Structure 1
Amino acid sequence: METSLNILLIGPSQNGKSTFINKIRQLSEYEPEQEGALEGDGSQSCTKSCKEYTLRFRRTRYKLVDVETSQEIPVSEDNEDQLFRKIWKKKTIEDCEILPLDNNPRTFTVRLIDTPGLDDSHGSDDRNITEVMMHLKKMSQAGEGRDYITAIVFVLSSTEAFSEKLQNFYRHYQRCMPSLFGGLAVVNTRFSVEEWLQKYNIIQKRPEKSVLKRVSKAVKPDPARVVVMRERREEFWRIFKQDARHFYIDSNPDDYLIVEELITRNRIYDIMNYFASQNPMPIQNIKLVKSMSMIQIDETLATWLKEAKAILTQREKSLLSLTDSHGRIYSSKIKRAFTLESDLEQLKKELALIDNASKFTIRTHSTAPLHKLSAPKGFWKWAVRSSIQDSLTIEEPDYPGFVVDAQNNLPYSQWTKRDWNADRTVWTGDYKASPGQVPVLDAVVSISNRKYHKTAIEGLNKRILQTKEDILMTKEEEAYFSSQETVKPMDPELKEISELLPQCDALINQLCLDWSSVTSGFDQVDAERYRKVRVDGMQSLSVENLFEFVKSQGYHALERKLRAVLNEHGLK
């Protein structure tokens, strides 16, 4: 059975996500009735909710052909002198056409998941992140074929810097879904040929200090496009302390200058080919890390719940004063049992997040930053047909048995040998590149969640075991106590309050957490609540949101009691 690629696209508003999607669709087969992604005009976000686009991508590169002679016109992105001076504006749609290199290419299924833009012009970032988490939850429950992500793609404009706000969004998503960042890529859009030419001219104007450098201009080991990508990649590493594969693309090339369209098509082929080399990542271990406004919303609900609890506690004291010692003991046993049950459920939720076999990406290494091939050095290596041969060593003494996914990303660089030390804490990969080329190879380091969170899992299991023993003991004591003939029947109202107060505590604790498990617990009611922040930052909550939350957690009796208590005391 063929595995589909599930690609999650994330990025700021008006940075070209929708345009990028439509360009991929243009090179694919898809259902005719499926509409394309709505593209913005630069003023506001168009994508308001997650939307999926399923297509069959044609796996082929493209060539430029002269219409009159039917002869292929060589176009090399590395030979920038020829590209800019003899081809780019010399060849147009009037005298050339673009044809696939493979007339009957293989295809593979791709599911592109478009998401609402970050840094939204209407201040809806919390709502948008919540929307993404809800969509991932639906995918995790959809069964085989949709319960994984192949790659996360940050789509950013090549003209935009990694702003502080964007950095915060990136880190927020990484905290929400750490196990899905193994197939991370960055697609830098709006890298027009004009932008490319400007960078090329800047490099050309740099003073040459040696005869060898002037001679070596005949060979360009570092084209301007490669320099731009390397600089962006190094900046990304410096800021985020994580490597990511970067691609540069103009997803909206000039229709008349056909070379731009050719470059875009082949760049999309490279991007999709990279995605196809990634391993599926199960949608597990994901949680909604609450933003400050989400925390404030839940604190408001927790405050109302504490007010109701205070009223119930006062009523409990009045009832306890009217009962005997047996009634007071019985009440404490009931509360103890319910508190332990709630603690056990919370511990199970925490354990479920980390006690699974899904991969936890520790970090990604790349060979690219290790080699900066200067023009003289590149010329010499090209002239004598010499190539870079080196090794990458990865040490993870804290994670013995870690896994390395050493990926062959480009045809002109490859891994040649891979070795482990005896205790599998050090991995060494030998690699080489074609003469005059910089080797660009990725090594994704991961380990199972169970191994990565081993200490935390052991601690949770001990606490769960102890809690289960405490529950069993408490229930035995409660059963023994209630079976005694001397014990009078408990007051029904006191019994009810004794059961409801621990439920209040459990929900207050849940609201005070800074995260919520997406795969268990988090639901549409939570999503709706987090949409209650207006653009001005103020909340539009009502106590009805508290009642909906309590009911969604399955505490129907508590919800009815809270309505009665809070309405009676004027909180509406």
Structure 2
Amino acid sequence: MFIAGKAKTFDRLSLRHGSANATAGQFHQTVNYLTGPCMIVVVGPPEESSLEPSGERSENDRGIGPSSNEGVLPNAPDNSTKSTTYLGKCEYSVADQKGDPQPVKQDLHVDEADPSNIGQDLNMIEEPETADQSDLVVSSSLHVGEESMNSVELPVESKNFNILVIGPSQSGKSTLIEAIREYLDPNREIDHSKIGNGSESCTKEVIENEFASHIPKYELINAGAPSQTTTESTQNSLGTAGAVVDIKRLQGASNWHLYKNALRKYDLRIRSCEQNPRAEYKFRIFDTPGLEDTDGHDVRNVAKILNVLSAVNEIHLILITIAHGTPLTQGVQNALKDYCSIFSEMNGLFTFVHTKVSYEKLHPGSQKYYGDLTTRMDKLDSIMGQPVRHIAIDSDFDEDRPLCIYMRREAIREILSLTNLNVPVAASQMRLIKTKRMREVDSIVIKEQEAHSREIRWQLLEVRSKRDISRTQVEAAKTREISALKIKIDEARFEYREKQVELNGFDTDTLEFLFERSSQESRTILDFFPSRRPRVPLEVARLEFQIDDIREERNGYDIVHSEGGEGSNFWKVVIERKVFRQGDYRAKFYAKRCNRQQAKVTELKAEVERRKETVQKLYKNVEVLENSVEVKDDDEIVSEKKNLESQLRSCQEILTRAKRTSLHFNLFKAVAEAGVYEGEATKCAEKVAAFYENYTPALGEEVLLDDIRNI
């Protein structure tokens, strides 16, 4: 179906269906229009009850109307002799003599499509031949209905997004970033100096790459006529000349040879199909050293990443590159487990990017290749301990086949769009899990400090014995009891502080990622029979806590029913794909940590309260004993006693920090930067002990020991 006519200048054209009945016309379709005489292509179903044209509007106003010149655009040829279908209301802007846009509203009629061709046109949208381009200036695509083809995009206002790229050496991190540059500006030359040579890692330090973009959107057009080498099935899959290729439908086809034939066609064309760019978004992408480039310096490499996080404060996406065909060595697996553990509070941000894949074999028909890839995805999910999103990409810049280039750009577009689907994590509020190396060294520290603590306690007993020689038995007993109570007070204060630190980590409004629900559908023949299209139910079963945030990405779907959601402990939706639209729906669910860990928070609060009461009781007992006896010691004994008590407190300080399974962001960063975990384990233990003893926490990072008496 099409409308032809002459027009002035269109600043923006928007079709909104005028019928109240969704059966016939509530379809939102891609509409392409060209510079020149106004040629609009509208693909959509005719009235379901009949494929025959009708000259009268039905009683229930389902979208069939009389033929009229009023329904065509200005200067359109007389179509009164043709059978037409009433589509709805057309709203557009025409420039006046001053060049200012003036709104125009008209009924929209279209020529009936030939029902015999309706099936073969299912997966394409016809693009008419371009005519004179002097009279019409338009943007390259059209917003149709209330939702665009990419309805859930980045927000209207400008925003900065931070992306961290990690992965093994030679897994394609730097190449991926260069591919993103090429996606944003296809005309720029590839900087091969930023790409590894295949045998040596290109990145030794964290490198910041900054891009500004409105996320370009491309579509693939069948620009050539059928040739003698093009089979009929391949031609049908790509559509007629000028058709938009339905890539998802092509990839989902059961015939692998049909898919490969399409890949080999060079008469496909990639074109921009931009909406009016609404805002420019800034992306900072950080390229990191390889996971196997640690050379024993894994904590130092983590420190480089932490420096990045502290500078940007929050992160929106973590990409883990894995090169297809390279083995997942034990070293890589251990590194992935470490990073997943360290950044466990960012588990909702992880996405695997499988690089160096072959698009030609990325099809279920290539059973071994496709099977190996899906098996690897399952293995990686197992390593991470949770399902993770996977995106496959071929970043071979020598690849010149249009379909491959288009698929790469679509993969990159999906990657960048994820930044808005995720809830960013504030680095300054994170607690990071210790690495395996740190835990090994800390176990040595704990063993040494516990032995040292026992030795100091014996020395304190000897000092007390010297002091008690000149006292009566009653005075000696009381002073020994006071000394013992003060040691217990120090121990109780450290225990209270550790429980409070643990509680602070759980009793927070920080949003934690829970899980994701999704649905993807391609166009089908049922699009011509809207009432027969299936509806997709999605749900989250009842949880023990409420859902606090839902991030939704919805393209080509309508929500026809919903229950629960934010503020509830369950969620149900029924979605229906719009006719002639590819459907892509994703929802990510988040809960506040204090709500999700409510049982743990309650337990820790009770434990903190018990520790608090213990400390207060010990202080009170000491106060009573000190008031009942006059304690006088010579200066030498006092000095020795204070020195030993100070050493004992240092041991306790070291022990409590070494026993923690996680560290505050600031402490972890400081430890990593100091490099105290590098080198031989026993020597590291000495450096770690000294560091923990002298570390001064930032304000609000820990409960200060000197403040515990007044709790």
TM-score tier (shorter): 0.7 to 0.9
The answer to whether residue 604 in structure 2 is matched with residue 460 in structure 1 is yes
Counterparts of 2:544 and 2:272 in 1: how far apart (Å)? Answer: 52
Query: Given that residues 77 and 83 in structure 1 are in contact (C-alpha distance below 8 angstroms), is that contact kept between their aligned partners in structure 2?
Result: no
Query: What pairs up with 1:79-90 in 2 under 5 angstroms?
Result: 79=250, 84-85=260-261, 88=264, 90=266
Who is 2:575 aligned against? 431
Counterparts of 1:546 and 1:229 in 2: how far apart (Å)? Answer: 45
Structure 1 residue 76 displacement after superposition: 4.8
Who is 1:156 aligned against? 322
The answer to whether residue 545 in structure 2 is matched with residue 408 in structure 1 is no
- Rate the CA distance shift 1:550–1:188 in 2: closer, same or farther, 3 A: same
Counterparts of 2:262 and 2:612 in 1: how far apart (Å)? Answer: 77
Counterparts of 2:287 and 2:215 in 1: how far apart (Å)? Answer: 22
Secondary structure (helix, strand or coil) at the match of 1:40 reads: coil
Considering only CA atoms, is the larger Rg found in Structure 1 or Structure 2? Answer: 2
Secondary structure (helix, strand or coil) at the match of 1:486 reads: coil
Structure 1 residue 251 displacement after superposition: 2.3
Amino acid aligned to 1:147: N
The answer to whether residue 356 in structure 2 is matched with residue 190 in structure 1 is yes
The answer to whether residue 291 in structure 2 is matched with residue 122 in structure 1 is no
Counterparts of 1:384 and 1:66 in 2: how far apart (Å)? Answer: 27
Counterparts of 2:264 and 2:376 in 1: how far apart (Å)? Answer: 25
Amino acid aligned to 1:518: H
The answer to whether residue 442 in structure 2 is matched with residue 298 in structure 1 is yes
Counterparts of 2:384 and 2:525 in 1: how far apart (Å)? Answer: 35
Amino acid aligned to 1:77: I
Counterparts of 2:328 and 2:562 in 1: how far apart (Å)? Answer: 35
Counterparts of 1:423 and 1:105 in 2: how far apart (Å)? Answer: 32
Secondary structure (helix, strand or coil) at the match of 2:501 reads: helix
Counterparts of 2:404 and 2:416 in 1: how far apart (Å)? Answer: 18
Structure 1 residue 56 displacement after superposition: 1.0
Counterparts of 1:84 and 1:492 in 2: how far apart (Å)? Answer: 85
Counterparts of 1:36 and 1:314 in 2: how far apart (Å)? Answer: 67
The answer to whether residue 708 in structure 2 is matched with residue 552 in structure 1 is no
Query: What pairs up with 1:232-381 in 2 under 5 angstroms?
Result: 242-254=386-398, 256-257=400-401, 259-283=403-427, 286-324=430-468, 325=476, 326-367=478-519, 381=526
Counterparts of 1:382 and 1:102 in 2: how far apart (Å)? Answer: 25
Amino acid aligned to 1:478: V
Amino acid aligned to 2:175: T
Who is 1:522 aligned against? 668
TM-score under structure 1 length normalisation: 0.74
Structure 1 stretches lacking a partner, 5+ long:
140-145, 207-223, 555-572
Who is 1:221 aligned against? none
* Residues 374-409 of structure 1 deviation map (CA, whole Å, 9 limit, x = unaligned): xxxx8664675654412012113322x224625225
Secondary structure (helix, strand or coil) at the match of 2:537 reads: strand
Q: Share of identical aligned residues, percent?
A: 18
Secondary structure (helix, strand or coil) at the match of 2:563 reads: strand
Secondary structure (helix, strand or coil) at the match of 1:522 reads: helix
Query: Given that residues 243 and 364 in structure 1 are in contact (C-alpha distance below 8 angstroms), is that contact kept between their aligned partners in structure 2?
Result: no
Secondary structure (helix, strand or coil) at the match of 1:54 reads: strand
Who is 1:109 aligned against? 282
- Rate the CA distance shift 1:11–1:462 in 2: closer, same or farther, 3 A: same
- Count residues in correspondence: 503
Query: Given that residues 377 and 390 in structure 2 are in contact (C-alpha distance below 8 angstroms), is that contact kept between their aligned partners in structure 1?
Result: yes
Amino acid aligned to 2:484: S
Which of the residues 458, 474, 494 maps onto 2:641? Answer: 494
Counterparts of 1:230 and 1:365 in 2: how far apart (Å)? Answer: 19
Which of the residues 512, 522, 541 maps onto 2:659? Answer: 512
Which of the residues 529, 536, 544 maps onto 1:398? Answer: 544
Query: Given that residues 5 and 111 in structure 1 are in contact (C-alpha distance below 8 angstroms), is that contact kept between their aligned partners in structure 2?
Result: yes
Secondary structure (helix, strand or coil) at the match of 1:338 reads: helix
Counterparts of 2:394 and 2:631 in 1: how far apart (Å)? Answer: 80
Query: What pairs up with 1:130-149 in 2 under 5 angstroms?
Result: 131-133=304-306, 135-136=308-309, 138-139=310-311, 146-149=312-315
* Residues 303-342 of structure 1 deviation map (CA, whole Å, 9 limit, x = unaligned): 4434443443332222121122143233223222222222
Segment drifting more, 82-91 vs 285-294: 82-91
- Rate the CA distance shift 1:303–1:352 in 2: closer, same or farther, 3 A: same
Query: Given that residues 18 and 37 in structure 1 are in contact (C-alpha distance below 8 angstroms), is that contact kept between their aligned partners in structure 2?
Result: no
Amino acid aligned to 1:275: T
Structure 1 residue 347 displacement after superposition: 1.8
Secondary structure (helix, strand or coil) at the match of 1:356 reads: coil
Query: Given that residues 216 and 272 in structure 2 are in contact (C-alpha distance below 8 angstroms), is that contact kept between their aligned partners in structure 1?
Result: no
Query: Given that residues 158 and 248 in structure 1 are in contact (C-alpha distance below 8 angstroms), is that contact kept between their aligned partners in structure 2?
Result: no
Query: Given that residues 14 and 45 in structure 1 are in contact (C-alpha distance below 8 angstroms), is that contact kept between their aligned partners in structure 2?
Result: yes
- Rate the CA distance shift 1:123–1:432 in 2: closer, same or farther, 3 A: farther
Structure 1 residue 240 displacement after superposition: 5.5
* Residues 192-233 of structure 1 deviation map (CA, whole Å, 9 limit, x = unaligned): 43444xx47637xx9xxxxxxxxxxxxxxxxx99x9988876
Secondary structure (helix, strand or coil) at the match of 2:516 reads: strand
Segment drifting more, 347-356 vs 424-433: 424-433
Structure 2 stretches lacking a partner, 5+ long:
1-156, 225-240, 252-256, 469-475, 698-711
* Residues 506-561 of structure 1 deviation map (CA, whole Å, 9 limit, x = unaligned): 42233133x23233533423554454147xxx66537355323322258xxxxxxx
Secondary structure (helix, strand or coil) at the match of 2:668 reads: coil
Amino acid aligned to 1:330: I
Query: What pairs up with 1:160-171 in 2 under 5 angstroms?
Result: 160=326, 168-171=334-337
TM-score under structure 2 length normalisation: 0.61
Query: Given that residues 168 and 290 in structure 2 are in contact (C-alpha distance below 8 angstroms), is that contact kept between their aligned partners in structure 1?
Result: yes
Query: Given that residues 302 and 672 in structure 2 are in contact (C-alpha distance below 8 angstroms), is that contact kept between their aligned partners in structure 1?
Result: no
Counterparts of 2:682 and 2:579 in 1: how far apart (Å)? Answer: 61
Counterparts of 1:234 and 1:381 in 2: how far apart (Å)? Answer: 33
Amino acid aligned to 1:23: A
- Rate the CA distance shift 1:135–1:349 in 2: closer, same or farther, 3 A: farther
Who is 1:176 aligned against? 342
Secondary structure (helix, strand or coil) at the match of 1:367 reads: strand
Counterparts of 2:670 and 2:271 in 1: how far apart (Å)? Answer: 48
Q: Which has the higher helix share?
A: 1
Which of the residues 491, 503, 524 maps onto 2:650? Answer: 503
Secondary structure (helix, strand or coil) at the match of 1:90 reads: coil
Secondary structure (helix, strand or coil) at the match of 1:110 reads: strand
Who is 1:77 aligned against? 247
Secondary structure (helix, strand or coil) at the match of 2:181 reads: helix
Segment drifting more, 50-59 vs 429-438: 429-438
Counterparts of 1:234 and 1:384 in 2: how far apart (Å)? Answer: 38
